[in-house]
Amino acid sequence: MFTGIVEYKGIVTSVEHHSDGIGVAVDVGSMGEIALGDSVAVNGVCLTATQVHGEVISFDVVPETMSRTNLGSLVVGDSVNIERPLAVSGRFDGHIVQGHVDGIGEIAELSNEGDGTVLSVQMPTSLLRYVVEKGSVTIDGVSLTVAGIEGSILKVALIPHTMEATTLGLRKRGESVNLEVDVLAKYVERLMEFR
């Protein structure tokens, strides 16, 4: 389990295309130990470390993951949000994030508002029922509070720290982002189906 509190902006050092997916290597700097087999959230996608060479960690991205996320568009030099799983003794600063992306959104607009930035994302209509104002959503692995919903547009307010510490400060209109809605809403919906 993750919390959506990004620890590091990693840099993609290689992307190898295979017939059954891609291999991605990311320089994670000195953010802490990552061992072979560890789970790591890369842009909000839970991946398994398949190779560890110092500060460069490799991951395999299978077709299922490529079809549900934006990882297939990664190129060498891209920045990615990195988070290690929550330690049992750790602080829970964000919200429950599984690293299981629910869909891909598209950045509709980035606008300045005072010292902050409002990020507007076009959401798949199938995910809108799980999003509520002042609820939680994960965008590219970043735990955020929903500031508003206008039709199929989700709005979140980004403080300067978030813009600097995550890849959201590098994003542009038209780019795709990974979306994970609050898992609690999905469980409630599933339970209600059996009433």
pLDDT in tens, 49-81: 999 999 999 999 999 999 999 999 999 999 999
Instruction: Round to whole Å and give the CA distance between 86 and 81.
Output: 15
| CATH 2.40.50.140 assigned to 8-83 | no
Q: Mean pLDDT over residues 157-185, rounded?
A: 95
Q: Domain residue spans in the chain? A: 8-83, 103-193
Residue with tokens 């076009």: 122
CA dist list (Å): 137 to 69, 121, 128, 187: 15, 11, 11, 15
Residue with tokens 């460069």: 56
Tally Cβ neighbours within 10 Å of residue 13.
17
pLDDT of residue 83: 96
Q: Which CATH class is domain 103-193?
A: mainly beta
Instruction: Round to whole Å and give the CA distance between 41 and 26.
Output: 12
Closest CA relative to residue 36, chosen from 48, 18, 44, 19: 48
8-83 and 103-193 agree in CATH topology: yes
Instruction: Round to whole Å and give the CA distance between 72 and 61.
Output: 8
Exposure of 113 in the CB half-sphere (CA atoms within 13 A) = 13
pLDDT confidence bin for 90, thresholds 50/70/90? confident
Residue 39: strand pairing partners: 48
Residue 178: strand pairing partners: 104
pLDDT of residue 10: 96
Contact (Cβ atoms closer than 8 angstroms) between residue 144 and residue 137 = yes
Residue 119: strand pairing partners: 110, 156
